[in-house]
Amino acid sequence: MERDTVVKEVVEALKIFSRDIRTQIDEMGSQLRAEIQDTANQLRAEIQETANQLRAEMQETANQLRAEMQQFRAEVNERFDRLEQKFAGLRVELTETQETVHFLASKTIQHEKKLHHLAKQLETIR
């Protein structure tokens, strides 16, 4: 009987030990799940923060590009305005030059007619 009692006590001790180990394993599993969940939450937060920073940087870059494009547009418009003014001045000068050429051409024709007429008169006199 003593042997049965010892065996029963050993079995009972093993059951208690087994329950303690299961409890510890369950607690460690719960702790591990909680740590995994915390880590996942931290990663999500970091990813979200990084995404927000990237969005902000992209927006800032886009704003800078817009500002540079507007400045470039203004410079190009200013240069085109200056070119238009130069071309307008050149058109006026060209028109004036054409008028002068036409005037001189008509005067040259008049003088040639007079010279031709005078030459005929000289021929008739001789």
Predicted TM-score of the model (pTM): 0.52
- What does the alpha-carbon distance between residue 35 and residue 31 come to, in Å, rounded to a whole number? 6
Quote the number of domains for the chain.
1
| Residue 23 falls inside a structural domain | yes
Write out the chain's pLDDT in tens, 126 residues: 688 888 899 889 889 999 999 999 999 999 999 999 999 999 999 999 999 999 999 999 999 999 999 999 999 999 999 999 999 999 999 999 999 999 999 999 999 999 999 888 888 887
Question: Token pair of 86, please?
Answer: 């130069």
| Residue 98 falls inside a structural domain | no
| Residue 42 falls inside a structural domain | yes
| Residue 104 falls inside a structural domain | no
| Residue 59 falls inside a structural domain | yes
| Residue 119 falls inside a structural domain | no
| Residue 75 falls inside a structural domain | yes
| Residue 58 falls inside a structural domain | yes
Q: Which domain holds residue 64?
A: 1-88
Check residue 121 and give its pLDDT. Answer: 87
